[in-house]
Amino acid sequence: MSAQIIDGKKVSSDIKAELAAEVAELKKGGLEPCLAVALVGDDPASHVYVRNKEEACKLIGIKSIKEQLPASTTQEELLALVKSWNDDPSVHGILVQSPVPSQINEHEVLLTIDPAKDVDGWHPFNVGQLMVGESTFESCTPSGIIELLKRYNIEMAGAKAVIVGRSNIVGKPVALLLLHNDATVEICHSRTKDLAAETKTADILVAAIGKPKFITADMVKPGAAVIDVGMNRTEEGLCGDVDFEAVKEVAAAITPVPGGVGLMTVAMLMGNTVKAAKQQAGVVERSIV
Ligand code: GUN
């Protein structure tokens, strides 16, 4: 039997509809959530991602500010922009689209963003909050994965979760979130010995490698839930890290690419922006200083 397709398009539009209703109420009370995005340089994929974020803001009723900066932008110029948004009470969420040009020190940029406005959940303060299990801004792709698993009633407690990829923006934070949801978690990476032997133990397999169709059917345990975080641009178009056509015949549930995790990232970012606005307006308790 072919796997259930986890429909990120449907879940992300449900979440956006829920947020739109919430924002309409907030606006009645005089609070308009606002997300400010800096886009440095000419990376074509980044332009697409930022446009998707702007469209989601529009749909939900979130105000969006976009600063498009030239590839030659200096560190000082970018930091000055971030600081101006930190100091602007009408801006609730700040995001600097990644990747940035090589003259920019991205870590320093992240450290400069006010953690209370860090809707990406990438500031080391928020990463630390995630580590200790405190409510904070969770990184959007990992929290989108958890949301998909929850909405499809895929049991995390006691499940063996194997993550392939150890990046700061997906592999490590999704491991922590799965752990907080009582999964038994293993992170694999390029130096893992006998990767297939590890991935075959997974009830939940998360592929975040960045290599097209890297996870093949023989690497998947029958009945597993397979989450594909890959976004690889190939000659045949956008393609995930999982060999979807073959793996869907082995897995019990699987996310497609496109139409899976990618759409969830934007939905969770919108949720974080609304949360940031409510925290800064004192509508909900601030979880951070
Ligand atoms: N580049 C690709 N995905 C993301 C994201 O979620 N946030 C930021 N800031 N940059 C990205």
Catalytic site includes residue 42 = no
Where along the chain do its domains lie? 30-114, 140-262
Is the Cβ atom of 129 under 6 angstroms away from ligand 1?
Answer: no
| Predicted TM-score of the model (pTM) | 0.96
**Spatial separation of the C-alpha atoms in residues 149 and 250, rounded to whole Å:** 18
CATH of domain 140-262: 3.40.50.720
pLDDT 10s digits, 47-94: 999 999 999 999 999 999 999 999 999 999 999 999 999 999 999 999
Average pLDDT, the chain: 96
Q: pLDDT value at position 288?
A: 59
Residue 286 has pLDDT above 90, yes or no: no
Strand partners, 141: none
Give the distance from CA 13 to its chain's centroid.
Answer: 15
How many A from CA of 159 to the centre of ligand 1? 29
pLDDT 10s digits, 141-160: 999 999 999 999 999 999 99
Catalytic site includes residue 120 = yes
Catalytic site includes residue 103 = no
**Spatial separation of the C-alpha atoms in residues 253 and 10, rounded to whole Å:** 15
Per CATH, the homologous superfamily of domain 30-114 is: Leucine Dehydrogenase, chain A, domain 1 (3.40.50.10860)
**Of 95, 107, 238, best ligand 1 pocket probe by most atoms within 8 Å of the beta carbon:** 95
**Spatial separation of the C-alpha atoms in residues 162 and 188, rounded to whole Å:** 7
| Beta carbons within 8 Å of 24's beta carbon, 6+ residues apart | 61
**Spatial separation of the C-alpha atoms in residues 202 and 189, rounded to whole Å:** 15
Is the Cβ atom of 120 under 6 angstroms away from ligand 1?
Answer: yes
Residue 289 has pLDDT above 90, yes or no: no
Neighbours of 224 (CB within 10 A): 26
How many A from CA of 246 to the centre of ligand 1? 29
Residue 140 CA, closest ligand 1 atom number: 6
Question: Is omega for the bond preceding 256 within 30 degrees of 0, making it cis?
Answer: no
How many A from CA of 64 to the centre of ligand 1? 16
Is the Cβ atom of 268 under 6 angstroms away from ligand 1?
Answer: no
| CATH topology agreement for domains 30-114 and 140-262 | yes
